[in-house]
């Protein structure tokens, strides 16, 4: 099992630590040639979706990553990663545009920029969730499974090989969502 972590901007180190905790081999993706390595899954971290999207274009990574996901590479996007994967974005730009969801950027506004909560995640149970200027999902296509809601808003979902959370599981002390990604998406590929 080997997971690539997109490491051009944002909270990638925290994802690498979670994978190490799970004894999963991992490597950073910083440039096009890093995509030559074989991998069982890819993580797109939180950060700033506009900045990550621009870097993906500048580094010539956008097409190759989109292609790998569309041909079945398991991917897990957190926060900005969710926005990058969405086919439709409110208050923002579409980047990879592969997952049949509508993401609303900075959906919690400025007042409630950051907060933590415990909520239920389908198939896992109650877990801590940390939100930082987070998006949420306002609309899902028919093949998208909703995995979690907070205050009525969709904050986690899965469509085939794609998993997204609007919160940051890598900033909590739980490894359960990473474990779910490895077991349910990467191992069943």
Q: Give yes or no for a contact between 48 and 81, defined as CB atoms under 8 angstroms apart.
A: no
Q: Which of 14, 34, 40, 48 binds ligand GLN (CB under 6 A)?
A: 48
Closest contact distance (angstroms) between CB of 50 and ligand GLN is: 6
The strand pair at 153-159 and 145-150 is best described as: antiparallel
Contact between 41 and ligand GLN by CB under 6 A: the answer reads no
Q: Give yes or no for a contact between 107 and 153, defined as CB atoms under 8 angstroms apart.
A: yes
3-state secondary structure of 67: helix
- Candidate segments 36-44, 47-55, 63-71, 172-180, binder of ligand GLN by CB under 6 A: 47-55
Q: Between 69 and 171, whose beta carbon lies closer to ligand GLN?
A: 171
Query: 99 is written with which tokens?
Result: 């997952």
Helix (H) or strand (E) holding 68: helix 62-70
Contact between 156 and ligand GLN by CB under 6 A: the answer reads no
Q: Which of 95, 104, 105, 178 binds ligand GLN (CB under 6 A)?
A: 105
Q: Which of 19, 42, 80, 156 binds ligand GLN (CB under 6 A)?
A: 80
- Candidate segments 27-35, 42-50, 94-102, 119-127, binder of ligand GLN by CB under 6 A: 42-50
Contact between 77 and ligand GLN by CB under 6 A: the answer reads no
The strand pair at 99-104 and 86-90 is best described as: parallel
Catalytic residue among 15, 95, 170, 186: 170
Q: Which residue in this structure is represented by tokens 């950060």?
A: 47
Q: Give yes or no for a contact between 150 and 117, defined as CB atoms under 8 angstroms apart.
A: yes
Asked if 79 is an active-site residue, the reply is yes
Query: 37 is written with which tokens?
Result: 């390595």
Q: What are phi and psi of 10, to 5 degrees?
A: 95, -160
Q: Which of 24, 65, 75, 83 binds ligand GLN (CB under 6 A)?
A: 83
Asked if 170 is an active-site residue, the reply is yes
- Candidate segments 21-29, 30-38, 46-54, 181-189, binder of ligand GLN by CB under 6 A: 46-54
* CA atoms within a 13 Å half-sphere pointing along the CA-CB vector of 92: 30
Residues classed as catalytic: 79, 168, 170
Q: Where on the chain is the footprint of ligand GLN (CB under 6 A)?
A: 46-49, 79-80, 83, 105-106, 132-133
């Amino acid at each position: 099992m080997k997971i690539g972590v997109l490491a051009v901007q944002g909270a990638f180190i925290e994802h690498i630590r979670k994978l190490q905790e799970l004894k999963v081999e991992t490597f950073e993706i910083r440039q096009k040639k890093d995509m030559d390595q074989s991998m069982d899954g890819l993580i797109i971290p939180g950060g700033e979706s506009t900045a990550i999207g621009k870097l993906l274009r500048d580094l010539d990574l956008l097409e190759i990553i989109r292609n790998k996901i569309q041909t079945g590479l398991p991917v897990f996007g957190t926060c900005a990663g969710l926005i990058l994967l969405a086919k439709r974005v409110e208050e923002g730009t579409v980047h990879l545009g592969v997952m049949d969801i509508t993401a609303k950027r900075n959906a919690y506004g400025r007042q409630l920029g950051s907060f933590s909560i415990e909520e239920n995640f389908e198939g896992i149970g109650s877990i801590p969730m940390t939100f930082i200027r987070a998006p949420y999902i306002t609309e899902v296509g028919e093949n998208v499974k909703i995995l979690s809601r907070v205050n009525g808003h969709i904050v986690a979902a899965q469509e085939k090989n794609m998993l997204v959370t609007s919160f940051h599981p890598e900033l909590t002390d739980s490894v359960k969502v990473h474990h779910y990604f490895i077991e349910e998406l990467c191992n069943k590929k």
